[in-house]
A and B are shown apart, each in its own frame.
Chain A
């Protein structure tokens, strides 16, 4: 009957969706190869592409240093977040510690926008001497992402068969041993997904980074990128190249870890 038109219609819709989600990135790539005059034409593809914007962007701002700071802060914060959250989530689910209020407390904490913590954490970092340091920013993210990690990890831990843990207990393993050598390896994909998502959140964060890092040595990539904008001589080609440099690390992770990430998000979001 009308199967073929329906299929063609579905394919068309899928194509439209894919174009919408790929277009901005594709345009960034195109603009990064455009000359200053070419940018003003508003055409999709560059006329007479140039490579000059890429070295130009890297010499206009210390992008390599920004990338280094971002990766350092993201990695450190993700590791600390998982280390803080895994034992707590495990204890809540299996040892029934604080199961009454812990989920509510983490949700309430997640509901507050980061701008709420802006001033209090600014003064706290200043007081502890951690203002304008990578360590200070990493700790802010590590603590701030705990609710996200909690909600992502919990479903993975819930699905570990109780029998396996009971067996470990009978073999004489205490809860700490059980978590470290039995449960953690079993939920390794969940831990990896959680760590990556928290790391990406930290890598992408702008508001707190812009307030807590005050010099070129500590600034992260989103902050560095925003500074490009403030320049009076706006060079769209260089901004596009710098943006792509900022995007590249997360897209590489997405490419290799997509399975984990989709699964991690899917389980965490819908119980």
Chain B
């Protein structure tokens, strides 16, 4: 095998050249055609279709019954409830992503010091990540329930509360609950990625710094963090994208309530489409939401590109 490999003509960069670089473009495109088809169905077609829906009057039974121009988009843009829902989605994405990055990195640091046990623990945190989000919602609902919830039981036993707290029926506590459940589910993802990033740092780098008399904190601040800055920014970006997909936890834990307190943009769109059957309005909301996601993540994408460029 190796003898054959050595006999390969030097300077050949890719199999493509060996296979005859002049293969016609259509044949080459066939390789990626199935994937491109999938992207067209899941992304390009929905975008075009949503623009058409938002400009026309539609029902679930009969789309595009009349052209209404920008009326629906303007209505959605001027709707204070939807503006609030957008703000909630953005705030949630930023808060949980930052929280999970800090927590996940700290846990990964802790695990990485434990060598063998660390690897086992990383496998253990795989469980929350793989749990169906609906079941995550059910589990936290049981813990947070006013009657018979574990948390209220503990608080009462410790004498901290006189009457059970309705975590999911108080706007602020409902948000804390959603964030708690999301932290439980997604911090493990950050732990696994941070753990992998940390293991790429050669042991000798840390040892050298220790010999130079750097304290543990100094080593973290001036050696470890700069070395993992690029992956950390990539993880933050990934986490923000995922946080904008929040839906299941809201559906199970709060159903957007109390009132509209935890109605995010995603949940608002779902209600508009499948509860009020206002297809045009839901399409207009979706377009606005997509644009907002793009605008909010753009600086993070830019920052991530800069970090990766610095690395080279």
A191 near B: Cβ within 8 Å? no
Residue of A146, A170, A229 near B38 (CB, 8 A) is A146
A109 in contact with B153 given A119-B273, A123-B63, A254-B127 (CB within 8 Å): no
Residues on B with beta carbons closer than 8 Å to the beta carbon of A28 = 135, 138-139, 142
Residues of chain B lying within 8 A (CB to CB) of residue A150: 35
Known pairs A119-B279, A239-B138, A247-B131 / 16 extra A-B pairs, C-beta < 8 Å: A13-B110, A21-B127, A41-B148, A94-B14, A96-B16, A146-B38, A146-B42, A170-B8, A207-B251, A222-B132, A243-B135, A259-B123, A262-B126, A269-B231, A270-B193, A271-B234
* Residue B121 is within 8 A (CB to CB) of chain A in the complex: yes
Interface size on A, residues (CB 8 A): 104
Bound complex: CA A31 to CA B5 (Å): 61
Complex Cα–Cα for A143 and B133 (A): 21
The CA of A271 and the CA of B311, in the complex, are separated in Å by 12
Q: A14-B110, A143-B38 are in contact. Are A119 and B150 (CB under 8 A)?
A: no
- Contact between chains at B35 and A94 (CB < 8 Å): no
Q: B5, A164: Cβ atoms under 8 Å?
A: yes
Is A91 part of the binding interface, using a Cβ–Cβ cutoff of 8 Å? yes
Q: Are B31 and A95 in contact (CB under 8 A)?
A: yes
Nearest Cβ in chain A — how far from B152, in angstroms? Answer: 6
Task: List 8 A-B residue pairs with CB atoms under 8 Å apart, sorted by A's residue number.
Answer: A17-B110, A42-B153, A84-B35, A88-B32, A91-B32, A120-B45, A123-B49, A144-B42
Residues of A within 8 A of B248 (CB): 206-207, 222
- A-binding segment of B75-83, B171-179, B238-246: B238-246
Contact assessment for B5 and A25 in the assembled complex, using a CB-CB cutoff below 8 Å: no
- Smallest beta-carbon distance B157→chain A, Å: 9
Q: Which positions in A face B, CB cutoff 8 Å?
A: 10, 13-14, 17-18, 20-25, 27-28, 31, 39-44, 83-85, 87-88, 90-92, 94-98, 102, 105-106, 108-124, 140, 142-144, 146-147, 150, 162-167, 169-171, 174-175, 178, 200, 203-204, 206-207, 211, 221-222, 225-226, 229, 236, 239-240, 243-244, 246-247, 250-251, 253-254, 258-259, 261-262, 265-267, 269-271
What's the least CB distance linking A2 to chain B, in Å?
12
Q: Report the interface size class on chain B.
A: 35 or more
User: Are A94 and B15 closer than 8 Å at their CB atoms?
Assistant: yes
Query: Which B residues are CB-close (under 8 A) to A144?
Result: 42
Asked if A111 and B241 sit within 8 Å, CB to CB, the answer is yes
Closest to B228 in A: A270
Residue of B nearest to A43 (CB): B153
A143-B139 contact given A111-B294, A166-B18, A226-B251, CB 8 Å threshold: no
Interface of A (DSSP majority class): helix
Give which listed residue, A87, A111, A178, A240, contacts B293 with CB less than 8 A. A111
Q: Hey, which bits of chain B sit against chain A, CB under 8 A?
A: 1, 4-5, 7-8, 12, 14-16, 18-19, 28-29, 31-32, 34-39, 41-43, 45-46, 49-50, 53, 60, 63, 107, 110-111, 113-114, 117, 121-128, 130-136, 138-140, 142-143, 145, 147-150, 152-154, 156, 184, 188-189, 192-193, 195-197, 200, 231, 234-235, 238, 241, 244-245, 247-248, 251-252, 266, 269-270, 273-274, 279, 282-283, 286, 289-290, 293-294, 297
